[in-house]
Amino acid sequence: MEIRAEKLAEWGSSLAGLMFVWATFDQFFPKFLKDYIQLQWRKLVNYFNPIMTIIFNEYSSGLYKRSDAYTAIESYLSSKSAARASRLRAEVGKKNNPMVLAMDDFEKIHDVFEGVSVKWFKGKHIPQGKTISWSHADNEKKFYELSFSEKHRTLITDKYIHYVVEEGKAIQSRRRQRRLYMNCCGDEWDYAVFEHPASFNNFAMDEQRKEQIVNDLITFSQGKEYYAKIGKVWKRGYLLYGPPGTGKSTMIVAMANLLGYDIYDLELTTVKDNTDLKRLLLNIKGKSLIVIEDIDCSLDLTGERKRKKGKNKKNRDNFPKPKEEDDRSDQSKVTLSGLLNFIDGIWSGCAGERVIVFTTNHVEQLDPALIRRGRMDMHIELGYCTFGAFKVLAKNYLNIESHPLFEKIEELLEQTNMTPADVAENLTPKTLGADAETCLKSLIQALEKAKEESKLKLIKEEAKEAEAEAEQQAEEEKEAEQKAEEEKEAQQEAESDNGSNDSYDEETGSEESESESETGSEEPESESETESE
Ligand SMILES: Nc1ncnc2c1ncn2[C@@H]1O[C@H](COP(=O)(O)OP(=O)(O)OP(=O)(O)O)[C@@H](O)[C@H]1O
């Protein structure tokens, strides 16, 4: 015990001695000398275990835009900092990410990639004796320094940095508040912050089909290298078609939420001409989902423009249109070929990764050129509610996965056509505290009513058809009678004509025989003339 106490006292005094030396060194040695000693020390360490460093500056020289690599690294490290950095800086984030913790200046954190340890340091140069400028680039110069053992150079430069930048970008896109853009005047986009809770988890559709679509979207979003390899622009087209209320708009939102893309809602009727359409395309950023809703109402298939008929378009039609915009829509000259160029002409290669979605209630009216594979790569039919889709809605709206009434509902859904929108509406509790069973019963009532109505409709249609058939038959009979009558009259007339001719013959028989004999004598003559000629 005594020996241990002695040892502790010894260490204590050595530590105190060291601290005294360090304090003296720190206080009395000039900065350049300290820097020099530090440099020599690093060189000594490097000699035995060579360390490589890479610097990522916040601003590239001469540019006033933050470096993309720097911001991506910042996002990547902020996701690691909460657990690893000893000093953090808290920043108020956006609504969907209230607080962001980032590593503070002059902090270090360690990271491990494929078993290799690396060190990140966040530093900044503060220019001395310079007046403060409004430009960040002229003031503090922040940077990240990545250090690692020289022997892992290839792994870090070839793989790790790429991984960090891609991860950082993905984190940025998840954190960023997304935007819903609308084309407003000519070639410009206006936007609103977009927060819609629809997702594939709560989208009512058969699970297998849903999985196919989700996989397709994810494969596309991760396919940068694949598209580069096959020499195609990194874009994919989806055609959503089906009756109103089957979830076309909802699926667009679910797609955007899944991919973390902004939505560009393109209203073709307000685009002046093909040139404006091209300009709009050039103003679309990457990671975007371009939507043209009700394409059949936007563009005449001959390339002529057609004003929207009857359809109450979402978003835009809730606001009064400025007069110029109304006038503009009258003058729109976007053609089908302009739209085809917009989708996949050479200009389409300028906007980076993006998805194009068309929706329509009348797929049969669309020009095949517009929706052929390669333009609209995946055609998705959204139909009436199936039992599989109903189960998703029941889980969303009532939080139940099974119920004795499900069997009856399945049977009724097979016998009638009801859109998911109507099913959802019937599952929504109408009174405070209404339980699941009440809502299911209300749906059954609605389904039975719909079934009755469709039966009545069918009977009416059949009666109408029968009536039309009877009418046609009567008309045909009438026509036949009339025809018979006419034929009879014609025959009678012919007979009476014959009778009068006979009596004339009797009177003028000699004349006729003369004329006949004249003609008879002439005919062989003319024949012989023709032959000799
Ligand atoms: N498959 C679905 N899953 C979940 N909710 C749905 C589905 N289909 C429709 N709904 C609900 O019905 C409402 C109307 O759907 P939505 O606007 O997406 O239909 P739509 O096919 O785009 O209709 P329209 O052709 O009239 O534009 C939405 O608010 C949504 O809540």
| 47 within domain boundaries | yes
Query: What are the backbone angles phi and psi of residue 113, rounded to the nearest 5°?
Result: -135, 120
Domain boundary among 381, 409, 439: 381
Q: Which of 414, 438, 466 is the last residue of a domain?
A: 466
Taking the CA of residue 203 as reference, the ligand 1 atom at the shortest distance is: 3
Distance 198 CA to ligand 1 centre (A): 10
Q: What is the distance in A from the centroid of ligand 1 to the CA of 34?
A: 69
pLDDT at 273: 83
In the three-class reduction of DSSP (H, G, I as helix; E, B as strand; rest coil), residue 244 is classed as coil
Task: Indicate whether 250 and 271 sit together in one domain.
Answer: yes
Residue 327, both tokens? 């006038």
Q: Are residues 163 and 217 in the same domain?
A: no
Give nearest CA residue, ligand 1 atom 11: 421
Same domain, 332 and 243: yes
- pLDDT of 301: 46
**Can you give the pTM of this predicted structure?**
0.62
Give me ligand 1 centre to Cα 288, in Å.
22
- Output the six-digit token pair for 378: 């995946």
CA 248 – ligand 1 centroid, Å: 6
* Domain residue limits at 408: 387-466
- In eight-state DSSP terms, residue 66 is B
Return the ∠ at Cα 67 (arms to 61 and 71), rounded to 5°.
145
Phi-psi region of 384 (alpha: psi -120 to 50; beta: other; left: phi over 0): beta
The alpha carbons of the chain give a radius of gyration, in whole angstroms, of 41
- Which of 249, 315, 316 to probe ligand 1 with, by most ligand atoms within 8 A of CB? 249
Reference 282, options 300, 296, 264, 297; nearest CA is: 264
Complex ipTM value: 0.97
* Structure tokens given for 54: 């890479």
The b-or-e profile of 492-515 (16+ CB within 10 A means b, else e) is: eeeeeeeeeeeeeeeeeeeeeeee
Q: How far is the CA of 385 from the centre of ligand 1 (A)?
A: 11
Same domain membership, residue 291 and residue 238:
yes
Q: Which amino acid is at 497?
A: D
Which pLDDT score, from 0 to 100, does residue 65 have? Answer: 65
C-beta separation of 355 from 236 below 8 A: yes
Q: Whose CA is nearest to atom 24 of ligand 1?
A: 244
Q: Are 117 and 156 in contact (CB under 8 A)?
A: no
Q: Is residue 523 part of a domain?
A: no
Look at strands 108-113 and 116-125 and give their pairing.
Answer: antiparallel
493 in any annotated domain = no
> Is the domain of 81 the same as that of 185?
no
Residues in contact with ligand 1 by the CB-under-6-Å rule are 203-205, 244-250, 361, 389, 420-421, 424
- 239: number of Cβ within 10 Å: 22
Domain count for the chain, please give it: 3
The H or E element containing residue 191 is: strand 189-194
CA 251 to ligand 1 centroid distance, Å? 8
183 shares a domain with 79: no
**306 CA distance to ligand 1 middle (Å):** 25
Instruction: Look at residue 298 in the predicted model and tell me its pLDDT.
Output: 73
Instruction: State which residues of the chain have pLDDT below 50.
Output: 132-137, 301-329, 504-533
Pocket test for ligand 1, best of 239, 250, 358 (most atoms within 8 A of CB): 250
Q: Look-up: residue for tokens 């407003």?
A: 184
H/E element, 175: helix 161-175
CATH of residue 374's domain is: 3.40.50.300
Complete edge-to-edge strand list for the sheet that includes strand 235-241 = 189-194, 178-183, 262-265, 288-292, 354-360, 235-241, 378-381
